[in-house]
Structure 1
Amino acid sequence: MSFKTRVTAPLLGAASLISLFALAPTAQADSAHSMACGYYETQTDAYYGHCGNSYVKVQVDIDWWPTDILRCLPPGETRLGSTSEVDNAWAIGTC
């Protein structure tokens, strides 16, 4: 085995290991920022994620309110309020 082979092989292995770790955070970051479709909650906030391309009419169940409210929401993520106020939300049509 020549000196060139003994030095080059470990360097190639190290380079592939470094590139693997460099790409891993990118894949994790993309999945961490993916939006859920429909109603979902975090520990403190209630959201509605609309995955369509046009506005949607959403019925929002407010915990302390006698009737539900209607909201016209754009595509994407919309904060509806705190989890102590909002119980649920669902699409009922287009705006």
Structure 2
Amino acid sequence: MRVRRSLPALIGALALGLGMSMASSATASPGAVKDPCGYFATASDAYYNHCTSDGSHIVIEIDDWGPNSEQCVGPGVTWIGSASDVSGAWYTGRLC
């Protein structure tokens, strides 16, 4: 009787463990982490990734030393400065 009760529990635990390991490997896609949309920085450089499929150019505000600056960026990844000089960037809501 004990074997009949513990066998389904063992099968359920194995299925749950296998499902969790597959889910965690599916969510860690290297392409999605590599170039996220918006501001991101590496150890040395700061970038803005304008994720769009319509080809639009937008104005971003860059939080750098002194007063913030603005820059027009097109689709894709744009280098916006040294990581030590830039602490953030965001979309202003305007096109250019």
TM range (shorter): 0.5 to 0.7
Note if 1:61 corresponds to 2:60: no
Residue identity (%): 38
Please say which structure displays the higher CA radius of gyration.
1
Where do residues 3-14 of structure 1 align in structure 2 (5 Å cutoff)? none
Q: Is there any run of 5+ residues in structure 1 with no aligned partner, and where?
A: 1-27
Matches within 5 A, 1:1-95: 31=31, 35-52=35-52, 53-62=55-64, 64-65=65-66, 67-92=67-92, 93-95=94-96
Runs (4+) of structure 1 exceeding 4 A deviation are: none
Q: Report the TM-score, using the length of structure 2 for normalisation.
A: 0.60
Deviation for aligned residue 1:35? 2.7
Count of aligned pairs: 65
> Which structure 2 segments of 5+ residues have no match?
1-28
Amino acid of the residue matched to residue 51 of structure 1? C
- Normalised by the length of structure 1, the TM-score is 0.61
Query: What is the aligned-residue RMSD (CA, Å)?
Result: 2.0
